[in-house]
Amino acid sequence: MLSRTFRAAILAAAVTVAATACSSSAKDPLGGNSGSSGSSGSSTGNSGSADGGSTVVVGSANFPENVLLASIYSQALQAKGVKVTEKFNIGSRELLYGQIKDSKLTVLPEYNGALLAYLDSKATAASTEDIDAALTKTLPASLAILKSAAAEDKDSLTVSKDTAAKYNLQSIADLTAQAGQFTIGGPPEFKSRREQQFKDVYGLNFKEWKPTADTTANAIKDGTIQVGNVFTTDPRIVSLGLVSLTDPKNLFGAQNVTPLINKAGVNATASAALDAVSAKLDTAGLTALMKRVAVDKEDAAVVAKDWVKSNGLG
């Protein structure tokens, strides 16, 4: 994911790293965590952990918001004397989950609803509390989630204002009559994750599924696709004049930003530092940070540093 949770209003047209979200949609808020398999890793931080713990490896999916969140986690941990290795831009949830399960990563910024949908496609939990409770039961014993932030980046199905007006579209349910004429876009894994759910929950059968990754909002605007999986903190929803459809059947549950950890590598100091981030991070703040990264083209590490410092965490 990731939500996923404005899972999406201004990820600038020029931003082409993946998402994430809502999932889903990690977003991927689930849907939102698309996937190259490359990773960029760097070691940073202090020479040792404050209470003797080993190095914490912070990973991220390969989309700008997830990299930003991972950088916030990394810098908040370092501020508490935790030694950190950063491995960002790794890929989709399918790849990331295997790595944290295998102890190659220690901490990931996740999206609780998207993660639950990935682990259990039949899960019905929709609220933050219910999703977190379900995750606690579903995750293997070696993994855990820490406190979820109020910040949400949810998956959405989004259309242009012209399309919404022409077909009187306000909710996902309103797509039923037109889905057979529409091409839908999203991250490469969006079809495999969501196609059956759209059929089961809303009775939607789209004409074509097109992988659009982080260009989804622009593809909606230029008419390449008619509907797309755009995440709710994406600044382009506003800048391009798009409309995110409501989800009356809660196919996309809550997608709060939530640390996923491998318990063996996270001590009390690290847990407390990550919980402190979650306590301060809200949706409006995350959206403002994403504008700096996606629209103003500021470096994610610099934006993260400003946020950590301004919130008294570093």
Whether 143 and 292 map to the same domain: the answer is yes
Is residue 11 scored above 50 in pLDDT? Answer: no
Whether 53 and 84 map to the same domain: the answer is yes
In terms of pLDDT, which residue wins out, 148 or 8? 148
Is residue 210 scored above 70 in pLDDT? Answer: yes
Instruction: Note the pLDDT tens digit of each residue in 161-190.
Output: 999 999 999 999 999 999 999 999 998 889
Whether 47 and 142 map to the same domain: the answer is yes
Find all residues with CB under 8 Å of 10, minimum gap 6, and list them: 234, 235, 236, 237, 238, 239, 287, 290, 291, 294, 295
Kindly state the average pLDDT of the residues 191-216: 93
Instruction: Note the pLDDT tens digit of each residue in 69-90.
Output: 999 999 999 999 999 999 999 9
Whether 168 and 184 map to the same domain: the answer is yes
Q: How confident is the model at residue 110 (pLDDT cuts 50, 70, 90)?
A: very high
Whether 145 and 214 map to the same domain: the answer is no
Which pLDDT score is estimated for 275?
A: 98
Is residue 31 scored above 80 in pLDDT? Answer: no
Kindly state the average pLDDT of the residues 215-225: 95
Whether 51 and 127 map to the same domain: the answer is yes
**CA-to-CA distance for 278 and 133, rounded, in angstroms?**
17
15 found inside a domain: no
Whether 149 and 162 map to the same domain: the answer is no
Which pLDDT score is estimated for 6?
A: 36
196 found inside a domain: yes
Which pLDDT score is estimated for 103?
A: 97
Kindly state the average pLDDT of the residues 107-128: 93
CA 3-91-138 angle, to 5 degrees, is 50
Which pLDDT score is estimated for 87?
A: 98
- Percentage above 90 pLDDT, the chain: 69
Domain boundary among 219, 244, 269: 244
90 found inside a domain: yes
Is residue 15 scored above 70 in pLDDT? Answer: no
16 found inside a domain: no
pTM for this structure?
A: 0.75
Could you give the number of structural domains in the chain? 2
Q: How confident is the model at residue 193 (pLDDT cuts 50, 70, 90)?
A: confident
What distance separates the 2 farthest-apart alpha carbons in the chain?
62
- Indicate which CATH number applies to the domain containing 206: 3.40.190.120
Kindly state the average pLDDT of the residues 301-313: 98
Which range marks the domain in which residue 237 is found?
157-244
29 found inside a domain: no
Which pLDDT score is estimated for 12?
A: 36
Q: How far is CA 215 from CA 39, 47, 164, 210, 230, in A?
A: 21, 40, 20, 11, 9
Which pLDDT score is estimated for 53?
A: 55
Instruction: Please give the span between the terminal C-alpha atoms of the chain, in angstroms, as a whole number.
Output: 26
13 found inside a domain: no
Domain boundary among 204, 223, 244: 244
Whether 112 and 178 map to the same domain: the answer is no
Which pLDDT score is estimated for 285?
A: 93
Is residue 60 scored above 80 in pLDDT? Answer: yes
Which pLDDT score is estimated for 189?
A: 85
Residues forming a β-bridge with 41: 87
Which pLDDT score is estimated for 40?
A: 45
Whether 143 and 175 map to the same domain: the answer is no
* Strand pairing report for 257-262 and 107-111: antiparallel
